[in-house]
Amino acid sequence: MRFPDLRQALVDAARRADDLGLNRGTSGNFSVRLPDGADGAGLLLTPSAVPPVALGPQDVIEMDWDGGWQAVAPGRKPTTEWRFHRDILRARPEVGAIVHTHAPFCMALSCHRIGIPAFHYMVALAGGKEIRCGGYATFGTQALSDAALAALEGRKACLLANHGMLALGPNLDKAVALAVEVESLAEGYWRARQLGEPVLLSEAEMADVHAQMQDYGSAAGADAPNGGHGAR
H/E stretch holding 53: none
Say whether 44 sits in a helix, a strand or coil: strand
Alpha carbon of residue 79 to chain centroid:
15
Question: Of 168, 181, 176, nearest to 226 (Cα)?
Answer: 181
C-beta separation of 77 from 46 below 8 A: no
Vertex 143: Cα angle to 63 and 14 (nearest 5): 45
CA distance 156 to 175: 9
Name the nearest CA neighbour of 55 among 16, 97, 11, 22: 11
Cβ partners under 8 Å of residue 175, min gap 6: 13, 96, 97, 98, 99, 167, 168, 169
What distance in Å separates the CA atoms of residue 189 and residue 47, rounded to the nearest whole number?
32
Which residues are tagged catalytic? 81
CA–CA dist 50, 17 (Å, integer):
14
